[in-house]
Structure 1
């Protein structure tokens, strides 16, 4: 007999399990899941009898209306995702159901035909679908189990419900209290296996929105080991009152191996290598076990710390009116325009996390990149996120110091070591960096004689000042940087091979600004800092800035924005008139807006989606509009990203 024929004639497992459990009073072995079996046992103990249909009493219209009002926040967040759910429900001829924490159905929408059938089975607003009222069902069992549950056909306790299958999951508030349950029900044979995953994806969005503007008086830490998921519903969120954990999402708790019951009993220092969120600098968060995650901090009072570097000034924002316009005094800017903090994209952030691990492990690092691409800013960020953040960061530009002085500046000297030597000598930058990090910029321009001395220092871990004296032990980490090809210089004998291999044990290349896919978002962030929030950047100006090639990279862009802030602040000309001459020439622009949205999505999907979600603050509909795609397409991209984890 063919195998498929035998499969068709094989006894139905659920039917066999029901017969053993309800008729023979036996516990079915491996025929239904443990979740279903435990529910059957509970419902039997509650007095349910499969021979008698459940008795239910729907709420009166007035009471149902009051119940809906009590859960208006839940219903509002649910409606934001309703259309996506309804498409899934109608595709299977089913309905979407929202219940309150007790299992009372608040809303039921979807396929008209199945909705009528569901109503005859009491799956309609006002009816309580707890296990105590209805027996085993996805809503009631999900509430009891506090986790997603799928109940198929005959797995329901009562016979009338065998014609449908249901997938439900609880919605948790930031303290772990069940706010309600989201359910998708359809004909027993029509529900695809991925239904529960779709329900959970929607719940992720609902729970993520609960953190929007909800904890302004507390410290909110958003983090993930994959920086592309920051700003999405998959990011980990922890909320602290001082150093005490007071709220979280499910992903945040899972990432730190905690349960809902640990909220209120966990300290920041129990998890991270810092006493409280206020002591975290940079966009990397170090765990006590030395793991690192990308993070974005929203500290109490509204201060955002995305990539802060210690010592960077925090500009005080000027008041902004309700319509978004600045309160303008009509006077020119008299204070210096601030230099903004660096903003790293996801690729640079991954490199930053790698660099921190390398520096902490005492692996010399070489950073390559075009002029102005942010090599020193990157090195400072590595220092700020490393275990040596409270130790010195000493930067030396090997191309800026005269060759006659660079040796004494770097290695130090004793008194009288040479004509013009300082009285009492000088420690030298290597000794100044002792215990911390030394950044050698433009290392390719270091004279060859000094290269041999630097190599000796790196090998011996000690420095001999000019003019004699005893060797001084050194404990330093080295980051070098160049815009040249050191390997090529080495082949041309303009850079020592042995020093190259010593310094470049790992190489990180920073991409030029023209290759960043989030230029518009970057420009808006930088502008918010250099303008101190006094003026908004017009869209056409932002797009023109984003489309320019920027041969000087980050440094040139920041310079142009600072000039715009200074000239535009005088209110004597529009910001467009203040643009550099090169940006007023159409031929210098690389991409138009439509090409940016479509082309970058095709070639850099993950970064573009992340940027769009950040701009939209997690709003799927708004992000999809920005990307020029529909919501279902965006959901598919997000699901693929989740699958790749």
Structure 2
């Protein structure tokens, strides 16, 4: 509870902020003052009445829940335990994603009604820019545990609440979500924040262990009895002794930061080598070993690994440094792409379950997220890997050629046809995998023919009367929302259900939790003969960039930056970036509304085709080469845009 003097100070600080745009120095906690200033900068006022425009719709909420499946699965048991501790205290336990959208709630029935009236329900966004100062949004902004009580909330309508929230962090230091307890301000308790913080650590540990069961893990504590408790440190190791992940307790014990993941050998943090630990583990597997941190602190450690990891470690007669992906021991093609993001890994695990079954895969995600790369890795991870992988971009094929390209044609089927005819891409995929990229842009007439092929498992070439049997695994990909296209009559519903055996959604680059490891992988792929890295400060800024072109755009930026390095340099820094990227990272992107009006000189071409090409070039430049975004801006389909670009 706040004292009368504290309440008076809050009122005075709020009035001064509203009148002068800043808080009186020292009048309130600086963290609270920062949050109030952010709330005002977002255009909010204490009396703002919130609408529902910031709430996730049913479809969007389902997508959020699906992409956070692992976080939800490991959080629910902890939330249930947490709720038992606060039951009958006029409270609700809340889990939000990394953007502040509420995903799961458990509440006291007597309090839920009031909570829902201020949108404390699933689907609502409690980001600061939508709800002002609040424990969830402010914990997101500050990256640490926060308690917001009564009038400390920026919006007056939330003043009846007292809220405590703590972040849930990944093993590589990325924020995954927020755990919160919100209740009636009259029943606030000084220990609530500590309770929530402990529960968040429990979730972090459960996630870390579950996602690294196939990795070497080092559990440590200052007492041997502390190993296995919520206070233990957990370190994830590569097969040759590099620290590639850790919980917050371990980072504190070893005096490391998230930036050290993938760049620190175990022996630089502890006075022991991995080989020595493995030897001791073999002799006395149940005994914790005493070691010392770099500051001399004594710690007890115990090594955990499954049989698959043991065999891999045992076979390493000449260890070499591996990247920080700590991928599963079953090193199939999908595992080789795994750099630690839980959403990506979940999609890969699902793909493995159906790869050799007659189930079509539908891969969804923004342009540039690596859908074709994922599809090819799925093919290479299955029994058909010795067969062909035939990739077709349905949006890039000229409309008048797409039918002959896909289905093939008989000799002399039309003017200009090859004398010997053509098998067509569908028949080329026989015995392997057919990958149809951007299937959402396939013309409706071709959708009908494709559906018949999938139903009958045979192809009838153009100009021929005899069908030819085909056998291939089907993987499709699209950036479009096909369900909405079906509702709009732009995509056949029967074809949609035929290709949608299993839908996988690949995360955008800005949503991934493995940015550092992914960067290391890209650099090693682009320059395998030259060990390069990005300086930590720049890497942190790059990880916050929205990357509308996703991996394709980021790889291009890294490739250009590498070309700017001198022969003796091995670190990419600000001066190596292209100028437009540097400007984007240092300044907020201008909004469409504030874009300058084009000058008369921009319209010098006077014929329609020249004007069309000019508009396309300018739009592509504004969208930084993102064809999907450019097509949406121009109000045409990707297929039409490709056709006009090639005209």
Alignment TM-score, normalising by the size of structure 1: 0.44
Q: Which has the larger radius of gyration?
A: 1
- Provide TM-score, normalisation by structure 2: 0.44
